[in-house]
Amino acid sequence: DLVNTGLSTFFFFIASVVLAALNHKTGAEIAAVIFGFLAMAVYAVNTYLAIKKWRMNSRQQNSRQTSDYIRARTESREVDHRPEIQRLDA
């Protein structure tokens, strides 16, 4: 989604600039230029929100991996609480 909205923003911007430079100032062409820039703005906002969501998910995944690692290390030290694991030095 992030790549799609980013590319759509870029292509709408290029198309709107080209049409604005080459138009003959008819009503339909002016409306198309305005619509193109509005669509580009909406795609830009969507791209920003997708980046924000991607970063948030990335941070949550990193913190979850860290907490899983800490939990696994703590559980591996608690041999006395797990009778299925026998101590070799006992």
Task: Note whether 19 and 29 are within 8 A (CB).
Answer: yes
State the Cα–Cα distance between residues 33 and 13, nearest whole angstrom.
Answer: 10
Q: Is 84 among the domain residues?
A: no
Q: How many domains does the chain have?
A: 1
Task: Note whether 59 and 38 are within 8 A (CB).
Answer: no
Q: Is 77 among the domain residues?
A: no
Domain holding 45, by residue range, is 1-72
State the Cα–Cα distance between residues 44 and 74, nearest whole angstrom.
Answer: 45
Check pLDDT > 80 for residue 79. no
Q: By CB neighbour count within 10 A (0-12 exposed, 13-18 middle, 19+ buried), where does 83 fall?
A: exposed
Q: Is 89 among the domain residues?
A: no
Quote the mean pLDDT of the chain: 83
Task: Tell me the percentage of the chain whose pLDDT exceeds 70.
Answer: 70
pLDDT for res 62: 73
Mean pLDDT to the nearest integer, 65-80: 61
pLDDT for res 69: 62
pLDDT for res 58: 85
Q: Is 78 among the domain residues?
A: no
Q: Is 54 among the domain residues?
A: yes
pLDDT for res 8: 94
pLDDT tens column, 55-69:
998 888 777 666 666
Check pLDDT > 80 for residue 38. yes
